[in-house]
């Protein structure tokens, strides 16, 4: 999925966390690089960028293909053009901290990721 904001920035791999409190979006290459996190207003559905946006990806101008968030939502996995990256999610703020020993490189770009219970 690719979306465009009013400011002209394109996003890919958009994902809502299981609690419905945060949205994660990968900034499309050529417009910078990183993961943008937005808090979701529970009454209006409006999105507010959180402090720290964008959170860095390991490579500059890296394409985010998809996200996976296992329940309860304290981890975020990102399939990119270069491999798999993991983040720890702050449950209160939505902020991301990269997991040590990631990214994990693959021979080909990952186009999707899924988590099974």
Query: Average pLDDT for consecutive 10-residue bins of the chain (117 residues)?
Result: 57 88 85 86 93 84 84 89 89 93 75 79
Q: What is the per-residue pLDDT for 1?
A: 45
Pairwise CA distance, residues 12 & 25, whole Å = 6
Q: What is the per-residue pLDDT for 12?
A: 80
- Name the residue ranges covered by the structural domains of the chain: 2-105
Say what the pTM is.
0.85
| Segment holding 104, helix H or strand E | strand 104-105
């Amino acid at each position: 999925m690719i979306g465009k904001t009013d400011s002209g920035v394109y996003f890919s791999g958009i994902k809502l966390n299981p609690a419905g409190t945060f949205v994660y979006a990968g900034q499309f290459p050529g417009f910078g690089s990183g993961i943008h996190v937005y808090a979701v207003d529970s009454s209006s559905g409006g999105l507010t960028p959180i402090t720290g946006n964008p959170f860095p990806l390991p490579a500059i101008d890296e394409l985010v293909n998809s996200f996976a968030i296992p329940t309860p939502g304290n981890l975020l996995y990102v399939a990119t053009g270069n491999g798999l990256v993991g983040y720890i999610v702050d449950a209160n703020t939505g902020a991301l901290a990269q997991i040590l020993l990631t990214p994990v490189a693959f021979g080909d770009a990952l186009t999707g990721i899924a988590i099974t219970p």
